[in-house]
Amino acid sequence: MAVSYTSSNTNVATVSGNTVTLKSSGTTTITASQAGDSNRNAATDVTQTLTVQARDTDGDGVTDVMELTDGTNPNDANSYNNLNQGLVAYYPFNGNANDASGNGLGGTLVNSTVAESGVVGAGNSLRISGGMDSWMEVADSSLLRPSGFTLSMWIYNNLSDNSGVRYVCGKNYEQMEIHLSNDVN
């Protein structure tokens, strides 16, 4: 009797036949199932948790993906771009909300688009035009819970009124939040 396999999180790993293909960092559960027939009962499903982490061959704190992108040597702990050491996520918005850090923290756009930024040399940008009903959402990860962090972004706020707070991103009970305000008072 044939055994079939499934992945609970196809963003992390997919299964075709008996081959598992890793897609990004994260956690998934691989389940092996075997159906029964008129002579045999179905086997009890067997599960195995699979955790995929971004590779850092030389242990310098910079993922191999970022080192290759930077043109540095992923096998030399002294060869890295200082700005990428400890990098959690990098969103260049190249037509999507994918994370280019190698950590697999891609975003999902909600009522938002990726567009040319209009700034020479700045590449693409996340365009949020639907007000409070627009955002980019990233699934929870232990990487997003550091004891301290630095966030860098370029923001163009074209709102001229003094109507209060504009949320850029943030974290409260279940989410992160950082906001900007046009309020001059």
Structure token pair of residue 113 = 């688009």
Which of 99, 102, 96 lies closest to 68 in space, CA to CA? 102
Specify which of 37-51, 88-102, 134-148 reaches the highest per-range mean pLDDT: 37-51
pLDDT tier at 183 (50, 70, 90 boundaries)?
A: very low
pTM above 0.85, yes or no: no
pLDDT at 181: 47
Averaged confidence pLDDT in the chain? 76
Domain boundaries of the chain, sorted by first residue: 4-52, 54-87, 88-181
Q: Which long-range contacts (CB under 8 A, 24 or more apart) does 89-92 make?
A: 89/138, 89/143, 89/144, 90/66, 91/126, 91/136, 92/123, 92/124
Above 90 in pLDDT, residue 6?
Answer: yes
Q: Has residue 34 got a pLDDT over 90?
A: yes
pLDDT tops 60 at residue 177? no
What is the structure's pLDDT at 16?
94
Residue 44 C-alpha from the chain's centroid: 34
- DSSP states along 156-171: -----S---EEEEEEE
pLDDT tier, 106 (very low <50, low <70, confident <90, very high otherwise): confident
pLDDT of residue 184: 47
What local confidence, expressed as pLDDT, does residue 146 receive? 77
Residue 39 pLDDT > 80: yes
Over range 18-41, report the average pLDDT.
Answer: 89
- Predicted confidence (pLDDT) at residue 1 exceeds the cutoff of 60: yes
Q: What pLDDT is recorded for position 160?
A: 59
**Residue 48, token pair as written in the block:** 């195995």
- Span 59-90, pLDDT tens digits: 888 888 778 877 888 899 888 777 667 788 88
Q: pLDDT per residue over 42-59, tens digit each?
A: 999 999 999 887 788 888
For the cut 90, the answer to whether the pLDDT of residue 166 exceeds it is no
